[in-house]
Structure 1
Amino acid sequence: MFSIGKYLFSASFALAVAAGSVPVAMIASPAAASEIKYVVNNVPVTTYDINRRAAFLKLQNRKGNLNQMAADEMVEQTLRVAEINRLGIRITDEAVDAAFKRFAGSNKLSPAQMSDILNKAGITEAHFKDFIRSQMGWNQALSARFKSQGGTMSEQDVVRRMLQEGGNKPSATEYMLQQVIFVVPAAEKGKMGQRKREAEAMRARFNGCDSSREFAKGLLDVTVRDLGRVLAPELPPEWADQIKKTKTGGATAVKETDRGVEFIGICSSREVSDDRVAKMVFQSETKTDDQAGELDKKYIAELRKRARIVER
């Protein structure tokens, strides 16, 4: 429903980056000269933060009072981050780095080239990645709010959509999945490289879900979980593409997560078409950007109303 692209990158920004039109003059004063401009629920928003965002807006070719627009955006980002933390949503560094790499690649740049452009523009890679992290987390918060408000189709809506489609029920792929986790405690992150090699070795031997527990027996701190049947529209966004590309009996690439290192085994897959599938498919098709935008505005207005925002 809530695509990160909707919030992250405008077409004008992509064109500006691709063309390399970097406004070097926008580079702001050093962090040492930074002053607190706003305090949002006891969290400071500094002139350094605002200058970085103003440079970001300029690179997007936004018009208007960029400093005020940047200040408003940073206040709202602070509110979003606080809500993300309250909900217990955690976006890993790996997920942020992957999004950064994808955006650089979409502009035919390496991450290093992308970082150089952002730094010269006065934005900095760190500010841009903070922005990515906040938007990814906010997307999850919006989805949770949508579900909590009963954002589902009624049976009448499903019937109406089916009639519009000629009475045919849509189909979707149903996967039987298994999750293999090589646990890495938070205090032992230095072992991530070793655990990743172990996971890669097990993944290379993976030939179906029946034998995975046998492989795991001789390994320390390895958890094998049967995830059951999952329809394609229900797949976690961070795994969906890899799962869809992986053949039955195979496993996805190894991924670092907040739990450690893991991969997903595809035990089986089949095409199904029933009332539950129809409702889910039709519902996913009707979750528009307009709905997302409206919910975003209402959610932010609610957070602003409850917040204590002091301008210095």
Structure 2
Amino acid sequence: MRAHSQLKTGLLAAALAIAPFSLENPTPSPIGISAAHASEIKVVVNDEVVTSYDIARRTAFLKLQRRSGNLRQLAVEELTDEALKRSAIRRAGIRIPDSQVDAAFANFSKGNKLSASQMSQILNQAGVTAKHFKEFIRVQIAWGQVIRARSQRNNLMSEQDVVAKMLEQGGQKPTSTEYLLQQVIFVIPQDKRSSLLKRRRSEAANMRGRVTGCDNTQELATQIRDVTVRDLGRVLELRLPDRWAKDVKGLQEGQTTRVKDTERGVEFLVVCRARAVSDDRVAQLEFSTQALEDSGGDLGKQFLDELRSSARIQKR
């Protein structure tokens, strides 16, 4: 395999805060199955253990990122933080399915002009292993959901408080677009994804071209195998899922988003209705969203500090 001088992070990497990798002649690592079997417990975080094998893989990961300093110490600190995060993730009842992690891994590989198998080979050669990197991805995605939910609870002002504050400042209630949406899913079993993806994309594009609104989607779907149509109801522009926000904004009644690969298969959204609204709820969301953007950078660190202060951390 031709070595790449640097692994570009792309949008997924930015979202996961992954530093650039260096793939210029990666040094083969001696870490292997025997090392995993011979690993020793080095840190206990509450009831979760961090082993010498975990530390070795994370140290290799840091080397791949060209991090500086005492890499073993940094590895221990990162793994300790991740154990704390996992405890909060479990308490929040958040579970990131393997399909979502695999899709993120595949997208990250594709963004760096590599196949998932090529990326796995590079990670394994460097001593990181694809399994370790995927677990890193899983924690980052879930932790982001924990912080977002926590931020919204902390920052969501009451509608009455928001309106009063706006009137004090001489402002007007903001307007937003309210969308009535349908979701069309061309289901692909995970074990058949590679063989069916191209065909399902074509089928989805064909159906999308025939959609004239939400009245005929169910009828069209019955003519194609394994297609699900879901009514998503009314969604304000400020509450559109991140995955679809850019695709939906600006669409009018009867229009559809582009076809998109997801962990479930291939999907697109249909706009049943789009209308401008202005009320207390929109004002509340507008103010709360701004508050989240202003304070979001520190909330993760603050919550992690809280978790650390109440945790039982034993180093051996």
TM-score with structure 1 length normalisation?
Answer: 0.73
| Alpha-carbon distance, 1:213 to partner | 2.4
| 1:311 maps onto 2:312 in alignment | no
Number of aligned positions between the proteins: 296
Gaps of 5+ in 2: 1-10
Q: CA deviation at 1:144?
A: 1.9
The answer to whether 1:177 aligns with 2:196 is: no
Work out whether 1:285 is the aligned partner of 2:290. yes
Offset from partner CA, 1:242-274 (integer Å, 9 cap, x none): 33386642444254446x765432212234444
- Equivalent position SS for 1:280: helix
> Where do residues 293-304 of structure 1 align in structure 2 (5 Å cutoff)?
293-304=297-308
Question: Is contact 2:217–2:229 with CA below 8 Å preserved after alignment?
Answer: yes
CA displacement at 1:134 relative to structure 2: 0.8
Aligned-partner residue type, residue 145 of structure 1: R
Residue 8 of structure 1: aligned partner: 16
Q: Deviations over 1:63-85 (max 9, x none)?
A: 43221221121122123224323
Any residues of structure 2 matched to 1:184-223 within 5 Å, and which?
190=191, 197=200, 200=204, 202-217=207-222, 223=228
C-alpha distance after superposition, 1:255-306 (max 9, x if no partner):
4446x765432212234444332332232123236x3343323432443455
1:142 Cα deviation after fit? 1.2
Mean alpha-carbon deviation: is it higher for 128-137 or for 174-183? 174-183
1:94 CA displacement: 4.6
Q: 2:137 maps to what in 1? A: 132
Matches within 5 A, 1:112-127: 115=120, 117-127=122-132
Rounded to whole Å, the distance in 1 between the matches of 2:113 and 2:191 is 30
Matches within 5 A, 1:82-101: 82-100=87-105
- Alignment RMSD (CA, Å): 3.9
Structure 2 contact 13–108 (Cα < 8 Å) conserved: no
Shift in CA distance, 99/170, structure 1 to aligned 2, threshold 3 Å: farther
**Residue deviations 1:149-202 (CA, integer Å, cap 9, x gap):** x421355556656877x7354433321101335678xxx754667698397364
Q: Counterpart in 2 of 1:32?
A: 34
* Structure 1 stretches lacking a partner, 5+ long: none
**Structure 1 residues 45 and 98: alpha-carbon distance in aligned structure 2, compared to 1, 3 A threshold:** same
Give the aligned residue type for 2:127: G
Q: Which amino acid is 2:200 matched to?
A: R
Deviations 1:29-73 (A, max 9, x none): 224213132334443322222122223333444443221221121
Cα distance in 1, alignment partners of residues 13 and 161 from structure 2: 32
Relative to 1, partners in 2 of residues 1:156 and 1:86: Cα closer, same or farther, differing over 3 Å? closer
Cα distance change, pair 57–161 in 1 and its aligned pair in 2 (3 A):
farther
**Whole-angstrom CA distance in 2 between matches of 1:231 and 1:132:** 29
Secondary structure, counterpart of 2:93 in structure 1 = coil
67, 74, 79: which one pairs with 1:69?
A: 74
- 2:207 touches 2:220 (CA, 8 Å); kept in 1? yes
| Structure 2 residue aligned with 1:52 | 57
Of 183, 204, 229, the residue aligned with 2:234 is 229
Structure 1 residue 21 displacement after superposition: 4.7
Task: Give the Cα separation in 1 of the matches to 2:61 and 2:196.
Answer: 38
In terms of fraction of residues, the more helix-rich structure is: 1
- CA 1:288–1:60 in structure 2 vs 1: closer, same or farther (change >3 Å)? farther
- Residue 244 of structure 2 aligns to a residue in which SS? helix
Matched with 2:6 is: none
In structure 2, the CA distance between the partners of 1:117 and 1:218, relative to structure 1 (3 Å rule), is closer
Partner of 1:270: 275
Aligned identity (percent) is: 45
CA distance in 2, matches of 1:72, 1:21: 27
The normalised TM-score by structure 2 is 0.73
Provide the C-alpha distance between the structure 1 equivalents of 2:192 and 2:12, rounded to a whole number of angstroms: 31
Letter in 1 for 2:61: F
| Structure 1 counterpart of 2:17, one-letter code | F
CA–CA distance in structure 1, aligned partners of residues 122 and 221 of structure 2? 45
CA distance 1:7–1:189, change in 2 (3 Å):
closer
Q: Secondary structure at the match of 1:288?
A: helix
Q: Is the 8 A contact 1:203 1:251 kept in 2?
A: yes
